[in-house]
Structure 1
Amino acid sequence: MARSHVIENWNPEDTTAWEAGGEKIAKRNLLWSVVAEHVGFSVWSLWSVLVLFMPEDVYGLGAADKFLIAAAATATGAVLRLPYSLATAKFGGRNWTVFSAVVLLIPTGGALLLVLDPGHALWAYLLVAALSGFGGGNFASSMTNINAFFPQRLKGWALGLNAGGGNLGVPVVQLLGLLVIATVGNTRPEIVCAVYLVLLAVAGIGAALYMDNIDGRTADLKSLGAVMAYRDSWLISLLYIGTFGSFIGFSFAFGQVLQQHYLAGGDSPAQATLHAAQIAFLGPLLGSIARVYGGKWADRIGGGLVTAAAFVVMLACSVALAAVDSLPVVVALFIVLFIASGVGNGSVYKLIPDSFEAVSWKKVHDQSLEPGRRREFSQVSSGALIGVAGAIGGLGGVGINMVLRQSYLDTGDASSAFAFFAMYYVVAAVITLSFFTKVRRRTSTTQACDALTYGERAANAADPALVRQK
């Protein structure tokens, strides 16, 4: 018999239910969420690979045009994260994951047709690249869905793994591009598109067969605006511009920056493409892996400390990149920059549930929230901020590409762009050290105090999380 894909009365904080099978269910959904998000990220960053196959004398697109194409894809992915963050609660995590995989067949097929027939106007490439941004929206729906499946003590690990596995879609599509270039040359970009048409089908079918919908979840547009009433929501969003915005922005731009270095060094377009592709995937790959560790370290020592350390490293790399022009040094600094941004990606997302755990306990203490609704408030608010911060952070990727584009137009290199990025990282580091290095301690202290004060009320409200705290 076909099993039901709807779960009722899901409570990951109930350790008895978790150990009796809840953990297995959560990890199964996490697995296929990672697969679907991974393929979505690949489609989102598809044009970071395709532009390497598109010499200016054939397609009529210069370096500035290609940075603009990357910005179009990044912008759509960022904006769509807002509605996507509500979609899993409205339509179900399984249902939306299937839809979000299938809809990406449209921009992938469109990209295949464009690269097969050079000579289109710039707007056509911008349109199809923008549609590929639907793959970026997948991140918010996937993260919001997984946030609901795991208990508070494992959210940093689960969200870090989910995000890191999704981010790996960027280097994987770039590795596929390298494989195509190395085997058949830089004249067959349609192969990359064709492979992802198949992988999207696999992701959609796998999600349909093995994922679940959690019954009783609600999607409220007001929650998106409500979370922005809290100071921490704005600050976390600014931090995410610096971490994820850097990761996705540099993921789109790294190959092009390398290609320009090789062309300036005298390589032919074909040689420059191959040499850039051989290196470009390393940054996103290591950054994606580092994201998982950022989440784990944040679980152990706190998201604020890990995030602050990441920004300090990113600042140092940006200052150095603004000053040097040696290709080996540029590559090494870019790699470290990617790793630091990946660590920051994982640790910033730990700040979200931690912050709203603290807010929820404070509201219970102030008697502005019933103890029985505390866990729901924390989860709904965290999910909403995942969408908002993801959207705002994604816009950082747009900024990365637009600043790089302007830098190349003005000076022919990226030096002034990295000077600007360094200034942002200074601000982000100061914000993190000032407001978030004590979030974890504040949360645990508030829990311990309020559990004693409101234990009886928790029992009456049948809130298992609070009963155990008593």
Structure 2
Amino acid sequence: MPSPKTAQAPTPIKGSAVKSLIGATVGFFIGFGAVSLFGPTAHGFIEVMQLTPAQVGFLVAIPMLTGSLLRIPFGAWVDRNGGKLPFLILLLASVIGIAGLYWMLLTLYPDHLTQAHYPWLLFFGALGGCGIATFSVGIGQVSYWYPRNSQGRALAIYAGLGNTSPGLVAIILPLIIAAGGLWMGYLVSLAIVIAGIALYVVIGFNAPYFQLRHQDVPPDQAREEAARHGQELFPAVSMFKTLRDSAMSWRTWPLVILYFTTFGGFLALTAWLPNFWQTFYHATPMAAIALTAGFSLFSSIIRVPGGSWADRFGGELVAAVALLVLLAGALLMTFSGSFWITVAGEILVGAGMGVNNAAVFKLVPLYVPDAVGGTAGWVGGLGALGGFVVPPLLGSIAERMGTIGYARGYVVYVILALISLLFTVLLYTTRKGVAIHTSPVRVAPHRVK
């Protein structure tokens, strides 16, 4: 005899796909701002703490370490509860990290901030970076709301608008610091994150299946009811299973490489470019900020049409073209000694990175539809790790080669682009094996298993 809970009609589904997309985008936007925790302020720390180029590279990269690795378990956790809880946990951890930096700067900067405090900067920066990990959570949350044939556009909007955060931070944070001091910049950042959390709580609803499961509706009944609300993707049985299933799919790993190159590379450049422009071309701080913000915003915004192109022409083809554009830009930045040619190279790099990022996450729910959260975790987590790995490499090359090393270091991107092109060709030549997943046919409610 069924229990009272299974006999009762479920509570009406809250929210909608559009509201969930807005909520996830807002949450990711405020969390992703941690990418610029140190980039726009690195020169201030260099002057006060006498940091080496390698130490600067590690400092600007440290938020990406936690922001990358935590994407894996938290992205998989979406397949268990829908995303809202892990989203909030990550944002609260980021609040603690930014609050710690604010306290340090308020009490120590500038006279008492020394090399001895460098580990504490790294610690609070790592906590602040937890907000970056919201990306894989939002990918899963949005994917479960939207049908397959419109996921490319929805995910591109989510990631593209969310990715504008570092560019805006790179513009606004130095202005706040100039007006009120370094500590004021982090205080305002803290207030913005708290306000964003409140907004996400109000509109960031889980997909219908997860709402029904939270009401103790049995899995089969929840799937049928959710399908009637338009949900097409459903999670694996457990968090371990979604990680295992996605890891066992070989197509997950080429996507990791592609995302390491372009999203991890994007994170690295957003943090590194202010220092590059000021050191190599002796640009003014405001010019360096403008160039960095322009790169970040352009690469983020072009991701939106990039998702539509991936829907129309196919993710592999769009990714290959984007990587060729990235390769051309990286060659210009590596070997040019001209300011404006390097600017042109930066524009090409930004375009290639943004479009490829959209193409990659068009492919995630199509290749591994039964473990979207786990796949998003592996791709988003290990891919974003490039933001932690690349800046110390750039700093090390600059330290060994001197000033010219700031330009020659971009050969790292040339190599990564070539490797990613090879993996894209591999995906394209084996695409027939996943033809069943790329069809945008709607799943009928009674066929959902």
**TM-score scaled by structure 1?**
0.80
Q: Any gaps of 5 or more consecutive residues in structure 2? A: 1-8, 214-234
Matches within 5 A, 1:184-199: 184=179, 188-199=181-192
Larger mean Cα displacement after TM superposition, 166-175 or 329-338: 329-338
What corresponds to 1:51 in structure 2?
42
Q: Pick from 111, 124, 132 the counterpart of residue 128 of structure 1.
A: 124
CA distance in 2, matches of 1:143, 1:446: 18
For the structure 1 residues 9 and 441, does the alpha-carbon distance in structure 2 shift closer, same or farther, using more than 3 Å as the test? farther
How much has 1:327 moved relative to structure 2?
2.2
For the structure 1 residues 88 and 420, does the alpha-carbon distance in structure 2 shift closer, same or farther, using more than 3 Å as the test? closer
CA contact (8 A) 1:290 1:340 kept: no
CA distance in 2, matches of 1:124, 1:410: 27
Letter in 2 for 1:403: L
Q: Deviations over 1:397-418 (max 9, x none)?
A: 2222121011111112234322
Q: Deviations over 1:211-253 (max 9, x none)?
A: 2232336542232122121221111111111111111111111
Matches within 5 A, 1:59-458: 59-116=49-106, 117-118=108-109, 119-120=113-114, 121=116, 122-180=118-176, 184=179, 188-213=181-206, 214-215=210-211, 216=213, 219-262=238-281, 265=282, 272-356=284-368, 378=369, 380-412=370-402, 413-436=405-428, 439=431, 443=435
CA contact (8 A) 2:332 2:341 kept: no
Q: Deviations over 1:249-284 (max 9, x none)?
A: 11111111112124xx4x7xxxx3233123211101
Letter in 2 for 1:237: V
What corresponds to 1:364 in structure 2?
none
How much has 1:101 moved relative to structure 2?
2.5
CA distance in 2, matches of 1:445, 1:411: 48
CA contact (8 A) 1:305 1:437 kept: no
Could you say what secondary structure the match of 1:34 adopts?
helix
Could you say what secondary structure the match of 2:288 adopts?
helix
CA distance in 1, matches of 2:98, 2:184: 11
CA distance in 2, matches of 1:403, 1:291: 26
CA distance in 2, matches of 1:446, 1:212: 27
CA distance in 2, matches of 1:149, 1:298: 19
For the structure 1 residues 9 and 324, does the alpha-carbon distance in structure 2 shift closer, same or farther, using more than 3 Å as the test? farther
CA distance in 2, matches of 1:442, 1:221: 23
How much has 1:81 moved relative to structure 2?
0.5
**TM-score scaled by structure 2?**
0.83
CA distance in 1, matches of 2:373, 2:353: 22
CA distance in 2, matches of 1:293, 1:384: 26
For the structure 1 residues 438 and 302, does the alpha-carbon distance in structure 2 shift closer, same or farther, using more than 3 Å as the test? farther
CA contact (8 A) 2:31 2:91 kept: yes
How much has 1:427 moved relative to structure 2?
1.7
Q: Which one scores higher on RCO, CA 8 angstroms, separation ≥ 6?
A: 2
> What is the total number of aligned residue pairs between the two structures?
407
How much has 1:32 moved relative to structure 2?
1.1
Letter in 2 for 1:280: T
CA distance in 1, matches of 2:247, 2:56: 34
How much has 1:313 moved relative to structure 2?
1.0
Q: Any gaps of 5 or more consecutive residues in structure 1? A: 1-7, 11-16, 357-377
How much has 1:424 moved relative to structure 2?
1.9
CA distance in 2, matches of 1:220, 1:66: 37
CA distance in 2, matches of 1:168, 1:409: 31
For the structure 1 residues 312 and 437, does the alpha-carbon distance in structure 2 shift closer, same or farther, using more than 3 Å as the test? farther
Q: Deviations over 1:376-404 (max 9, x none)?
A: xx2x4122111101111111122221210
CA contact (8 A) 2:140 2:373 kept: yes
What corresponds to 1:28 in structure 2?
19
CA distance in 1, matches of 2:105, 2:149: 47
Letter in 2 for 1:420: V
What corresponds to 2:226 in structure 1?
none
CA contact (8 A) 2:335 2:408 kept: no
How much has 1:115 moved relative to structure 2?
2.9
CA distance in 1, matches of 2:157, 2:296: 15
CA distance in 1, matches of 2:432, 2:276: 39
Letter in 1 for 2:383: G
CA distance in 1, matches of 2:311, 2:139: 17
Letter in 2 for 1:422: V
For the structure 1 residues 337 and 381, does the alpha-carbon distance in structure 2 shift closer, same or farther, using more than 3 Å as the test? same
CA contact (8 A) 1:171 1:285 kept: yes
CA distance in 2, matches of 1:446, 1:277: 41
How much has 1:125 moved relative to structure 2?
1.5
Could you say what secondary structure the match of 2:51 adopts?
coil
Letter in 1 for 2:342: V
Q: Deviations over 1:140-170 (max 9, x none)?
A: 1111111111110111111111111221111
Letter in 2 for 1:139: F
What corresponds to 2:230 in structure 1?
none
